[in-house]
Structure 1
Amino acid sequence: METVLLPKSWNVDQVLDDLDQHGFALIDDAYSPEYVHALAEECASRLNQFREAAIQNGVVSKIRSDHILWINEELQTAQQHIRYLNALSDQLNQAFFLGIQEVEAHFACYNAGEFYALHRDNPQRKNDRVISTVYYLHEDWQDGWGGELRLQDKYDQWHIIQPKPNRIAIFQSDLLHEVIQAKHQRLSITAWLRSGNSIW
């Protein structure tokens, strides 16, 4: 099996500590400018394939209005991001015994006016999502464009996470969170690190 080395900008010790202490962590300047551009191009070139996001059994949710495209083997640039998340999963398993086995991911596009209301990615631990991640792949973002991630940490304190380009937000899937209404198109990759035996 191929050994994947995480980018040097990923301070794994800090990520593990922040997850342990607060339930969430941030990685800034995650990737090289060349990779960021290639990823943004791959996403933008397929925007016409995006569909309305849905919840269970394909029922379109009224609590969200974004559009998504699930990442498969054809999306080679995005697959590299998933390989890095798999490598991070190995570190998380060693530190927290989470038993993460796979990563599922999709591109997400929030056009102006779109949002995702308060929810948990693993409500009442009814699915096997252990860790949620959001990578912001738009190449430019300005204050006032909305689209922030509003997150409640493990001590019920609220945080506003700016969708800064080339940032990864990592958090426990059972934490309450929302995406504030965007005022400008916001692109990202949402990924879940999944396990059959969640213990958070």
Structure 2
Amino acid sequence: MSVVLAEEVVFSCPEIEPSFELMAKNLASQGYSLHLNGLNPNLLDSLYEYIQTMPADKFKRAGIGREDNLILNESVRTDQVCWINGESEAGQDWLNWTASLQRYLNRNLFLGLFSFESHFAHYSTGDFYKTHKDAFKGEANRILSIVVYLNPDWKHTDGGELVLYQDQTQVEILRVVPNFGTVVAFLSEDFPHEVLPATRDRYSIAGWFRVNSSAGDKVDPPR
């Protein structure tokens, strides 16, 4: 099934990114949103330059699950990640951008987004992430997923696409080429998705906006 996204529009408020309004409209109407040039060029360049200078040992093999339930399963995913905590200027600028997006979406879509977590992701040649969901209804607190791609001069023949599927039918509804500056966001509970193998190194940022599911003496997500 092909979905035609709305054209880019210019939002009248100067402190708000133009992509925020379109993202909100698309999320409300279809649950996902694609932006071929979704980040401020200065922020995008800063993130790319930073990830290119990161030592290899900063990246760790990615697991499945959280905290005590985290397991490594290379039949499901083989990428490596480095969590973004704001220690670098580029990382902090990224977190500032996502905080602005969070405020905008909460005001306009009433999502109740409470916190955000994200990591740099490195897929070496042949790496993949099999079909999965970022959250399951009633069992997790991830609400909105967002991915930014940091791959200049990417070609269709390089592979590495993100593929989103319709939840019940498993019909492909969106295939995203990981071009430099492309941003995609989707409702975490609603879309199974996978990352296809690539023929070259592939870099991205993956992040999740969460709601507050604290109960009793357990704080979730931790602050």
TM-score, normalisation: structure 2: 0.79
The amino acid across from 1:59 in the alignment is I
Q: Kindly provide the CA deviation profile for residues 89-123 of structure 1, in whole angstroms up to 9, marking residues without a partner as x.
A: 12221232211011100000011100000000002
CA contact (8 A) 1:71 1:78 kept: yes
Q: Kindly provide the CA deviation profile for residues 49-102 of structure 1, in whole angstroms up to 9, marking residues without a partner as x.
A: 101001223311231000000001212202212211111112221232211011
Aligned length: 192
- Paired residues for 1:59-138 under 5 Å: 59-62=71-74, 63-138=76-151
State the 1:32 CA deviation: 4.4
CA distance in 2, matches of 1:154, 1:16: 21
Structure 2 unaligned residues grouped into runs of 5+ = 1-13, 214-223
CA distance in 2, matches of 1:154, 1:24: 13
CA distance in 2, matches of 1:155, 1:123: 13
CA contact (8 A) 1:6 1:84 kept: no
State the 1:28 CA deviation: 2.2
The share of aligned pairs that are identical, in percent, is 30
TM-score, normalisation: structure 1: 0.87
Larger Cα-atom Rg: 2
- Paired residues for 1:3-14 under 5 Å: 5-8=15-18, 10=19, 12-14=20-22
CA distance in 1, matches of 2:47, 2:36: 16
The amino acid across from 1:7 in the alignment is E
State the 1:161 CA deviation: 1.2
CA contact (8 A) 1:66 1:110 kept: yes
CA contact (8 A) 2:39 2:183 kept: no
CA distance in 2, matches of 1:155, 1:86: 32
CA distance in 2, matches of 1:165, 1:65: 22
| Coordinate RMSD, CA, aligned | 2.0
Structure 1 unaligned residues grouped into runs of 5+ = none
